[in-house]
Structure 1
Amino acid sequence: MAASGDALTSESYIQHHLQHLSTDKLGLVEPGSFWTLNIDSLFFSVLLGFGFLWLFRSVAKKATTGVPGKLQCAVEILVEFVDENVRDTFQGKNPLIAPLALTIFVWIFLMNLMDLVPIDFLPYPAELAGIPYLKVVPSADVNITMGMAISVFALMVYYSIKMKGLGGFAKELALHPFNHPIAIPFNLMLEVISLLAKPLSLGMRLFGNMFAGEVVFILCAALLPWWGQWLGSLPWAIFHILVITIQAFVFMMLTIVYLSQAHAVDDH
């Protein structure tokens, strides 16, 4: 589609690539309905998730104690890297945390990595096949990132109540930072805002960075001639590799920190 500059203006090209293949555009639900689903984001996120599980399971089944292959070495280095960060950061005992951290890091990294796929590489053949819109970067969809953030938030609340009891969790909200009955309303306001800000910042940070990166690639494809697009896309792609990795790492580390705080039992 980048080459079809005669049929599309730069503005319409950008707007087209910012559209999701959603259920309302297919006429499955009313426009603007609460039940509108971005089919492309769901498809690629699930596909990458299953790809991650299949890859790691294959490596685990073929693992050898002898001289490992390059793929096994890469997976082992990644697992040890995540395990080390969990041991250094998580102050508690929970066998779920390390697998969860590994899943979050690899899954988000793979979703972010889709941002390096050329803008029209998949949408153009999809359009020829009758699919009008296709966005291939799930983490550039706020619904995906906030869904993951809310899942982490649910785990935070669950483990806070499990470890401290409902009364202990309530005391943590009502008696921090000022341990006095008069300060309870102020404490509640402060702590509830702080608690709700965690999933909001977690999801919006990832979405904002990946959406901005996607927009830059779209602008390069829309505003530069086809033969000169690499002048803008290539340097940004090289820099974006760092952004992709950092965003996956930050989401993983904040998840570990938040769950570590949920496991911490204070003496009220």
Structure 2
Amino acid sequence: MSLEYESAGDYIKHHLGHLTLGNPDTFWAIHVDTMFFSLLAGGVFLFLFMQVAKSVTTGVPGGLQNFVEIIVGFVDQQVKDTFHGRSDLIAPLALTLFVWIFLMSIVKLLPYDLFPYIAHLIGLDYMRINPTSDINATFGMSIAVFFLIIFYSIKIKGGAGFAKEMMFHPFGKWLLPFNLVLKVVEEVAKPVSLSLRLFGNMYAGGLIFSLIALLPWYIQWTLGLSWSLFKLLIITLQAFIFMVLTIVYLSMAHEDH
């Protein structure tokens, strides 16, 4: 461990803490590290894709262009297979979610004590580098998706059609209160499941990295490498699941029957 801690519990607690602006016991506190690394990951995503767009060639592509084309083609195929409406937003949204979530999560594979140690050198108490292990970030993304679901449901079905769907499905008008409760629970469950699934996997992964870091250095490398490779698979899978479920939910919102 790079810093001195009184116990293993203090070490884990410190690495799970956030650099916070404002009173952490109030609603309006901001996790500065989550915001910073989220924006940094978004900036990296925009920079790489803009560079490829500017230098794209129809001849033999370079390594970066080839990689980006594979990602874009993969996401585009998922949208074609899953989304059954007509919208110019869905494919760019799916691509953004997949790459952004992947980049926000992949930073966790960097040396575990590096950024807390750098933060300590410049006088900061905390520096947590994985935004997707912060429930505020995952809920923020899922709530944005939820608003899009409601928006397209009303846009495609109309206000009256959306209200009828909420009140009369699945059991008809005679069970209106029961239908409404079921539909509200169904709609609310979408952002909750999206956010908690991503948060739970990333938080647990960070906790395991904390436990590995407590072991002797000659054991850390073996377990750390093995877990990092497995974590890479989890990160890719979770980004894919978040993207696909978003496409599915928005496809359901575009069904007007």
TM-score (norm 2): 0.98
1:207 paired with 2:199, answer: yes
1:156-206 deviation per Cα after TM superposition (whole angstroms, max 9, x unaligned): 000000000111001111111112x22101100111101100000000000
Q: Structure 1, unaligned stretches of length 5 or more?
A: 24-28
2:250 corresponds to: 259
SS in 2 for 1:167: helix
1:44 corresponds to: 37
Could you say what the CA RMSD is over the residues aligned between the two structures, in angstroms? 1.0
Tell me how far 1:241 sits from its aligned partner.
0.9
Tell me how far 1:8 sits from its aligned partner.
3.6
Given candidates 63, 82, 88, the residue that maps to 1:95 is 88
Paired residue type of 1:144: A
1:113·1:244 contact (CA, 8 Å) conserved in 2? Answer: yes
**Regions of 4+ moved over 4 Å:** none
1:3·1:226 contact (CA, 8 Å) conserved in 2? Answer: no
SS in 2 for 1:64: coil
Tell me how far 1:3 sits from its aligned partner.
4.0
2:146 corresponds to: 153
1:234 corresponds to: 225
1:152·1:255 contact (CA, 8 Å) conserved in 2? Answer: yes
SS in 2 for 1:144: helix
SS in 1 for 2:220: helix
What does residue range 177-256 of structure 1 map to in structure 2 within 5 Å? 177-179=170-172, 181-222=173-214, 224-256=215-247
Instruction: Report % sequence identity.
Output: 54
1:213-252 deviation per Cα after TM superposition (whole angstroms, max 9, x unaligned): 0000011102x01232112211111111110000000000
Paired residue type of 1:225: P
1:62 paired with 2:55, answer: yes
Paired residue type of 1:253: V
SS in 1 for 2:91: helix
Count of paired positions? 257
2:98·2:239 contact (CA, 8 Å) conserved in 1? Answer: yes
2:26 corresponds to: 33
1:166 paired with 2:164, answer: no
1:26 corresponds to: none
Q: Structure 1 residues 204 and 111 mapped into 2: Cα distance closer, same or farther (>3 Å)?
A: same
1:22·1:39 contact (CA, 8 Å) conserved in 2? Answer: yes
1:35-66 deviation per Cα after TM superposition (whole angstroms, max 9, x unaligned): 10100000000011011001100011000111
In 1: Cα distance, 2:124 partner to 2:168 partner: 55
In 1: Cα distance, 2:151 partner to 2:49 partner: 28
What does residue range 6-25 of structure 1 map to in structure 2 within 5 Å? 7-23=5-21
1:5-27 deviation per Cα after TM superposition (whole angstroms, max 9, x unaligned): 5x44211111111110011xxxx
Q: Structure 2, unaligned stretches of length 5 or more?
A: none
In 1: Cα distance, 2:91 partner to 2:19 partner: 34
Q: Structure 1 residues 241 and 183 mapped into 2: Cα distance closer, same or farther (>3 Å)?
A: same
